[in-house]
Amino acid sequence: MPPVHIVGAGILGVSLAAHLIRRGREVVLVDPAPPGSEASFGNAGVISRGSVMPPNAPEVWRSLPAYAFNRSAAVRYDIKSLPRLAPWLLRFLAGATPGRAAATAAALNDLLAGALGAHEELMALARCGHRLRRTGYLQAFRTDAAFRRTAGERALLDRLGIAHTVHDAAGLRALEPHLSAIFRHGVLVTGSASVDDPGAVTRAYADLVCDAGAGLVTARVQGLSARGGGYTLHTDRAGDIDAEEVVVAAGAWSGAVLAHLGVRVPLAAERGYHRRYGFVGNQRLARPVHDVEGCYVMTCMEGGVQVSTGIELAAVDAPSTGRQLKAAEAAARTAFAFDRPIAPPWRGARPGLPDGRPMIGAVPGRPGLWCAFGHGHVGFTAGPVTGRLLAEAMATGQTPPVLTPFAPGRYVRG
């Protein structure tokens, strides 16, 4: 069989490549950057079992005034990008109903149930299991009010059977002795895990597939056209590449790639920043901590602590802004002691569809064209399980039931 061409070598592209190879397919990855350079490099490293609530849960209406005036560190937007973002935002808000949020949470719950196991499977093959910490993911609350406001999220975890434990200030100190005493409540999702370098894990998966014979073309796809029974990838550095099957796994740039074929998907870049800082003495956190009121996640990585911000809605390649990261660093310094920066600020883009679900599967009316993008906040978590399920769909022609809610047909007509 001819090779499958995968556009994008982030966690989605390389995980899918690994599973296609295991099913006996030849694979070529096409990416202008080394594997795992973009969002898959700089995320917070959480393999999150509990992140099933979509960003447009109905609670978003309560936060809307703060978001609208750009006063929230959790979500900011670039005013210049607003005209372009408006149709996406309208769809996002139209979907912010209890019924749709519950359906998306149930769908994501089914997908994420297999996420850690799928990472463990690839880690064993790629020999990078030493990077995994099965210590959960901790949400920490500074005030009783914020803890009470999120009771609905804990009720959802209960309904879906997602294991978690609730802690008071003393319990938090026992879990994380180096966390400062500002936190009054904590929720630990025990089935979550984390890695100490998500970029290194993605690169290890990429090495695995390249060692198994995958091709790696270092080039940007700047055009895509249909050709009798297949497609041609028009690249900047490798000329035209004919392909019978193409998977678009180009993260936040996937919409631009598909647009060359006239396929329109409402994909936004939910950008985020991080910065890494040196450790102070032996002070460490055993697991990633989400400071709910501080609107950042803090993860101890291999060489230092990483502070990762909330969402910035802006054009994917618009210049960086510094406000969210500055606020996140200031808040984080009140929660945990860390030293000076050890690397410059980093920016990445979470690829987001308005309904908070990824787009996984065949593009209607376009034989041989597949999607694997739009995983938003859970792309690092769900890359390997998506790869396994999509490889199954491509090999058998049958969509595994767990993928049905993520079908591209919900936005793309044949």
Ligand X SMILES: Cc1cc2nc3c(=O)[nH]c(=O)nc-3n(C[C@H](O)[C@H](O)[C@H](O)COP(=O)(O)OP(=O)(O)OC[C@H]3O[C@@H](n4cnc5c(N)ncnc54)[C@H](O)[C@@H]3O)c2cc1C
Ranges within 56-85 binding ligand X (CB under 6 A): none
Nearest-approach distance from CB 31 to ligand X, in angstroms: 4
13 part of the interface to ligand X, by CB under 6 A: yes
Give the residue carrying structure tokens 């030493």.
Answer: 130
171/226 with CB nearer ligand X: 226
Nearest-approach distance from CB 168 to ligand X, in angstroms: 26
405 part of the interface to ligand X, by CB under 6 A: no
- The site map against ligand X for 170-209 (x = CB under 6 A) is ----------------------------------------
221 part of the interface to ligand X, by CB under 6 A: yes
Total chain residues near ligand X (CB under 6 A) = 41
348 part of the interface to ligand X, by CB under 6 A: yes
137/174 with CB nearer ligand X: 137
User: Which of the ranges 53-61, 251-259, 261-269, 313-321 carries the binding residues for ligand X, by CB under 6 A?
Assistant: 251-259
Q: Which of 147, 381, 394, 406 binds ligand X (CB under 6 A)?
A: 381
384 part of the interface to ligand X, by CB under 6 A: no
10 part of the interface to ligand X, by CB under 6 A: yes
Amino acid at 226: A
275 part of the interface to ligand X, by CB under 6 A: no
Helical (H) or strand (E) element with 311: strand 311-313
Nearest-approach distance from CB 107 to ligand X, in angstroms: 16
Residues 6+ apart with CB under 8 A from 71: none
Nearest-approach distance from CB 274 to ligand X, in angstroms: 5
* Radius of gyration of the chain, Cα coordinates, nearest whole angstrom: 21
Residues 6+ apart with CB under 8 A from 5: 27, 28, 30, 231, 233, 241, 243, 245, 246, 247
Nearest-approach distance from CB 27 to ligand X, in angstroms: 14
Residues 6+ apart with CB under 8 A from 158: none
Nearest-approach distance from CB 39 to ligand X, in angstroms: 3
Q: Which of 2, 23, 33, 165 binds ligand X (CB under 6 A)?
A: 33
272 part of the interface to ligand X, by CB under 6 A: yes
Nearest-approach distance from CB 33 to ligand X, in angstroms: 4
220 part of the interface to ligand X, by CB under 6 A: yes
- What is the Cα–Cα distance from 230 to 154, expressed in whole angstroms? 47
- What is the Cα–Cα distance from 10 to 202, expressed in whole angstroms? 7
Give the residue carrying structure tokens 């009720």.
Answer: 155
336/380 with CB nearer ligand X: 380
Longest dimension (CA), the chain: 66
The 8-class DSSP code of residue 140 comes to E
Amino acid at 114: G
The residue nearest ligand X at its CB is 379
| 297, 311 contact by CB (below 8 A) | no
Phi, psi of 264, deg, nearest 5: -105, 125
Residues 6+ apart with CB under 8 A from 383: 10, 11, 12, 14, 15, 40, 202, 375
Q: Where do the DSSP E strands lie in 162-309?
A: 164-168, 185-189, 193-195, 215-217, 221-227, 230-235, 240-243, 245-248, 268-279, 289-291, 296-300, 305-309
369 part of the interface to ligand X, by CB under 6 A: no
Coil, helix or strand for 144? Answer: helix
308 part of the interface to ligand X, by CB under 6 A: yes
DSSP labels, 85-124 = HHHHHHHHHHT-SHHHHHHHHHHHHHHHTTHHHHHHHHHH
User: Which of the ranges 32-40, 99-107, 116-124, 325-333 carries the binding residues for ligand X, by CB under 6 A?
Assistant: 32-40
User: Which of the ranges 11-19, 128-136, 146-154, 336-344 carries the binding residues for ligand X, by CB under 6 A?
Assistant: 11-19
257 part of the interface to ligand X, by CB under 6 A: yes
* Alpha-carbon distances, residue 126 vs 48, 177, 371, 385 (angstroms): 21, 33, 25, 16
Q: Which of 21, 204, 267, 378 binds ligand X (CB under 6 A)?
A: 378
Nearest-approach distance from CB 221 to ligand X, in angstroms: 4
User: Which of the ranges 84-92, 239-247, 248-256, 401-409 carries the binding residues for ligand X, by CB under 6 A?
Assistant: 248-256
Q: Which residues bind to ligand X, rule: CB under 6 A?
A: 7-13, 30-33, 37-40, 43-46, 48, 220-221, 249-251, 253, 257, 272, 274, 308, 348, 350-351, 373, 375-381
